[in-house]
Amino acid sequence: MISPSIEAAINRQINHEIAAAYNYLAISAWFEQQNLPGFAAWFMIQRSEELEHAMRLYNYLLDRDGSVALGAVEQPRGDYGDIKGAFEAALAMEKANTAAINELYKQAKDEDDFATLSHLQWFLDEQVEEEKIMGESLAMVELAGNDSSAILMLNEKFGARKPEGEGA
């Protein structure tokens, strides 16, 4: 059985993950509107990963006899100004998600909830990777600047990404 406070914290994290997926969907749509389908596809994979993260927490909560309480998700931005702005928004979101997971981990540690600590270790490691990838992607976009050829090359590169489990 999971404590009510950890149950509430995990439900908040599920909501964070779903909100991230919703934001990535909005970023993907924005890239489609900019006629950059490679970037759009890349962010659609990000969306799917965030939903998978939410489901890991969802299933864990149910496995521990907890109750899932889904919250409202705020409407995402619809305009990112430029490619760099979209990646900056994505990196900021990943950093906020890392902070939320760290807070959940701290709470589980304070409550001596060792099963939850063990489960959250995967999320800690995943967030290191997510921030690294998003930071590197932003750096590539910054290097490309306003060079149309470089942007088209990045669009192709990002569009070649495969979902995890498909040779990505």
CATH classification at residue 21: 1.20.1260.10
Question: The whole model's pTM is what?
Answer: 0.93
pLDDT at 19 over 70: yes
- Domain for residue 155, yes or no? yes
Query: What is the pLDDT, as a whole number, of residue 63?
Result: 97
Report how many domains make up the chain.
1
Mean pLDDT value of segment 20-41: 98
Helix (H) / strand (E) element for 75: namely none
Residue 102 to residue 28: CA distance in whole angstroms: 27
- Contact indicator for 4, 107 with CB cutoff of 8 Å: no
> b or e along 36-61 (b: 16 or more beta carbons within 10 Å of the residue's beta carbon)?
bbbbbbbbbbbbebbbebbebbbebb
> How many CB atoms neighbour CB 76 within 10 A?
18
Whole-number pLDDT of residue 168: 42
In a domain, 166, yes or no: no
Q: In the structure, what pLDDT confidence band is assigned to residue 167 with cuts at 50, 70 and 90? A: low
Per-residue pLDDT of 43-82, as tens digits, reads 999 999 999 999 999 999 999 999 999 999 999 999 999 9
Q: Is the pLDDT of residue 163 over 90?
A: no
- Asked whether residue 165 is domain-assigned, the answer is no
**Which token pair is 44?**
């659609």
Query: Which residues, 6 or more positions from 154, have their beta carbon under 8 angstroms from its beta carbon?
Result: 38, 39, 140, 141, 144
Q: What range does the domain containing 34 cover?
A: 4-159
Chain segment 115-146, per-residue pLDDT in tens: 999 999 999 999 999 999 999 999 999 999 99
Give the C-alpha distances (Å, rounded to integers) separating 25 from 7, 9, 48, 109, 150.
27, 24, 9, 33, 24
Rounded (10°) CA dihedral 77, 83, 89, 90 = 110
Q: Which residue has the tokens 């006629």?
A: 35
pLDDT > 70: percent of the chain:
98
66 closest CA partner among 123, 14, 126: 14
